[in-house]
Amino acid sequence: MPIWLHDGKILDGHNRYEICQRHNLPFETYEIDGIEDREAAINWIIDNQLGRRNLTPEQASFLRGKRFNMEKKPGSRPAEKLPPK
């Protein structure tokens, strides 16, 4: 598996990279295009992790919740109405 990079930063493969460095093993990298900002990079990481089969249901739920919280827009909820005085 290659080590996935964006702007020279590892998005996936931290453990593979560390093992290869420690044991002087060759490795491949793949640069991901089309990621505009930090939020898009985090969403790519979440999507990539959710595509793996070794996640527990709790881990998958956590990642889906993190993605949901990142995507919801501030102010998208209607203002709470206070009771009249």
- Residue 46 is assigned to a structural domain of this protein: yes
What pLDDT was estimated at residue 61? 93
> Is residue 82 domain-resident?
no
Instruction: Return the number of other C-beta atoms located less than 10 Å from residue 20's C-beta.
Output: 15
**Domain total of the chain:** 2
Q: Could you tell me if residue 79 is inside a domain?
A: no
| Cβ atoms < 10 Å from Cβ of 25 | 9
The answer as to whether 19 is a domain residue is: yes
Whose CA is closest to 10, among 58, 21, 25, 69?
21
pLDDT higher than 70, residue 38: yes
At 75 the pLDDT is 57
Q: What is the mean pLDDT of residues 2-19?
A: 94
29 and 1 inside one domain:
yes
Beta carbons of 17 and 11 less than 8 angstroms apart: no
**Predicted pLDDT of residue 82:** 56
- Give pLDDT, residue 76: 54
Strand order across the 9-12 sheet: 9-12, 3-6, 29-31
For residue 7, give the DSSP letter: T
For the chain, helix, strand, coil in percent to 5 are 45, 15, 45
Residue 81 confidence (pLDDT) = 56
Q: Which domain holds residue 4?
A: 1-33
